[in-house]
Structures are given as structure tokens and as C-alpha cells.
A = this chain, B = another copy of it.
Amino acid sequence: MSGIAQTLKPPYYAVIFTSERTEGTQGYGEMAEEMVKLASIQPGFLGVESAREGLGITVSYWESLEAIQKWKQNERHLIAQSKGKSEWYLRYKTRICKVERDYGFEATNTK
């Protein structure tokens, strides 16, 4: 889960979730871990990328808008969203995107 997500040929969809945390950490780590595991077994899930450095950015990739909508309504995920608002996040923004084009680079020499 810690590298660059291996996704399909576009088009596919991305959910960019950008957040600023509160000081409250109780239960956050476990819930975040559970959500990544649970998302990973949803139909249409393609991958996830995540980093936090003050600001947290998590991008999840999906085959369709329907898959994103279903994940949003997942029962455990609804609980996580609710606790996120009441305890863990000062603010966040969620952006639903259609990935129209992608390209990559991989170094061939050892640096």
C-alpha cells in the first residue's frame, strides 16, 4: 500500500481526499488501516496512494463512479466518516475525478 498505485489504462476514476487532522488520535490509526483494507476488497477498487506531512493526501482509484458511490455508502465506511467529522478531522476536501490521461517514469540505472 506504500508505493505508486498500479492502475488501468485511462479512463478510470480518482478520489482525492485532502485533510487536516485534529490532535485527537484515539482509534484513528486502526480505523485508517481498516478502511484501506476494506476499500481494497470493494468491487471496482484499483489502488490507493497516501502520504501525510501535516496535510494528509489520500488518493484512491476506481473503475467507475458507481464503485465510488457504493464505497461511500459502505456501512463501516459510514461509521468512519462520522467519526472523522466528530473526532479526527479539522477540515477535509474530497474531489471526485475522471483520470483522462496518465504517464510514468521508471529509472533504469541504479542511482
Contacts and interface: CB of A to CB of B under 8 A. Distances in A.
- Please tell me the size bucket of the interface on A: 35 or more
Given A102-B96, A103-B94, A105-B89, A20 B49 contact: no
Nearest to A54: B2
B20 A4 contact: yes
Contacts of A50: 53, 55, 57
A94 B90 contact: no
Q: How many of these chains are in the complex?
A: 2
Interface of A: 2-5, 7, 10, 14, 16, 18-20, 22-24, 49-57, 59, 84-85, 87, 89-107, 111
A100 B23 CA distance: 32
Given A14-B16, A18-B5, A57-B49, A91 B111 contact: no
7 contacts: A5-B93, A22-B107, A22-B111, A49-B57, A57-B59, A90-B107, A97-B99
Given A3-B20, A95-B101, 16 more contacts: A2-B55, A4-B19, A4-B20, A5-B18, A5-B93, A14-B14, A14-B95, A18-B49, A18-B59, A51-B51, A51-B53, A90-B106, A93-B103, A93-B104, A94-B104, A98-B100
